[in-house]
Amino acid sequence: MKKLSMKSTIINFVVLFIVFGILIVLCETGILSNYIKGILMVCCISIIMACSQNITVGYLGQIALGGAGFMGIGAYTAAMITKAMASANILVGDGAPDTLRFLIATLAGGILAAIFGVLVGIPALRLRGDYLAIITLGFGEIIRVVIQNLKFLGGKGFSEGSAGQALVGINRIANLYVVFWVMVVSVALMFTFIRSKYGRAIIAIRNDDIAASASGLNVTFYKVLAFTVSSFFAGIAGGVFAHYIGSLSAASFGWLKSTEYVIMVVFGGMGSLTGSVIAAISLSALPEALREFSNYRMLAYSVALIIVMVYKPTGLLGTYEISVTRLLNRIMGKKEPSLHAIKAEVEASKASEEDKEVQ
């Protein structure tokens, strides 16, 4: 089992390096304009966000609409940290220092978002279905309004009640190459999480929570865990966003933003990370690609959504995951290793171990 998985991990990374190589070549030769690079950056952020929302909405099956709030927490935290570090002159300078500063700040943003994920998740996840959707939407809005009014984040203070200034002067140190790998590592970690006992428990809870607790699973724990992991990666996406865009206003983390990412999850397939990746790329790039049709582009976006929902209600991929290994095997005409093959391999390795012992 481990051997097979190692092989596919290597294949996946080879593919990623090829994609990364193409990206470098295109950027360095100047084929990609700054405009296209910007779109790619937004795609990376959307991929992290969509995958993170897929953990709660898809795998856990709970419609949570507060994603953008946690993205906001991550964004503001990361921005404040890089600003503070810049004024203290820690890790400032082109290249490695800036990148390291960016990574530290983004990680911190993710951690703080995760902490808030626990705090919000414990009361919110007692509810389910539409009630949960409403309460998470409420929490998301609370986060946004609090950020909007905090003085050190550019607000006027709570007594004023009106929106303050945007938080400006954030170093735009999110480099596309680095962000690409941040995205890859985030998606890979979410994938390993889902393919572990934790992910299995979460999927089991979506299937039937009564049966899940009858199988000895602490349903509340796993729900909060899923929500926390999801918040963590939303925070990471926020950190990247802050250092790409350079200025933050709380209005950009409203509930509309949350629904946008939930739409990506539904579009790609609830319970498919590769589906979320495809949906995030196409739904971020589509409005840009249609820009020349100006007013009609949002119409095209809506029509695309409707068509998918009518003809493929489970989303583009459903719960299916695209696998490069499987694709390669198919091209080479190899059969997929069945459970029996795996079992046989395990037994063979056992037998060889026993042989060694005998010797």
Partner 1 sequence: MNTPVLEAKHLGIAFGGLKAVDDFNITINEGELVGLIGPNGAGKTTVFNLLTGVYQPTEGAFFLNGDKMNGKKMHEVVRAGIARTFQNIRLFKSMTVLENVMVAFEMNYKYKLADAFFRAPRYWKDEEEIKEKAIDLLRIFNLESKADYIANNLPYGQQRKLEIARALATGMKLLLLDEPAAGMNPTETAELLSCINVIRERFGIAILLIEHDMSLVMKICERIVVIDYGVTIARGLPKEIAENPKVIAAYLGADDEMDVEDDTKEGA
203 binds partner 1 (CB under 8 A): yes
Where in 217-276 is the site for partner 1 (CB under 8 A)? 217-219, 225
8 Å CB contact between 23 and 176: yes
Q: How far is CA 272 from CA 30, 192, 203, 287, 339, in A?
A: 34, 13, 12, 23, 22
Tokens 């940290």 label which residue? 81
Distance CA 60, CA 125 (A): 11
Candidates 215, 287, 322, 353; binder of partner 1 (CB under 8 A) is 215
Candidates 88, 310, 339, 358; binder of partner 1 (CB under 8 A) is 339
Q: C-beta of 276: minimal distance to partner 1 in Å? A: 18
Query: In the stretch 136-175, what mask flags binding to partner 1 with x, by CB under 8 A?
Result: ----------------------------------------
Distance CA 242, CA 250 (A): 11
Query: In the stretch 304-323, what mask flags binding to partner 1 with x, by CB under 8 A?
Result: ---------------x----
Candidates 133, 212, 237, 308; binder of partner 1 (CB under 8 A) is 212
The token pair that represents 319 in the structure block: 């719960």
Candidates 210, 331, 332, 358; binder of partner 1 (CB under 8 A) is 210
Where in 27-86 is the site for partner 1 (CB under 8 A)? none
Q: C-beta of 74: minimal distance to partner 1 in Å? A: 18
- Backbone dihedral angles phi then psi of residue 248, each to the nearest 5 degrees: -120, 135
Q: C-beta of 206: minimal distance to partner 1 in Å? A: 8
Q: C-beta of 348: minimal distance to partner 1 in Å? A: 14
Nearer to partner 1, 151 or 330 (CB): 330
8 Å CB contact between 139 and 120: yes
8 Å CB contact between 170 and 247: yes
Distance CA 181, CA 236 (A): 12
Candidates 84, 160, 343, 344; binder of partner 1 (CB under 8 A) is 343
With CA atoms as reference, report the closest residue to 266 among 233, 222, 314, 230.
Answer: 314
Distance CA 151, CA 129 (A): 36
Among the residue ranges 38-46, 160-168, 258-266, 337-345, the one whose residues contact partner 1 (CB under 8 A): 337-345
CA angle 283, 15, 187 (to 5 degrees): 50
Binding site for partner 1 (CB under 8 A): 1-2, 189, 192-193, 196-198, 200-201, 203-204, 206-208, 210-219, 225, 319, 338-339, 343, 346
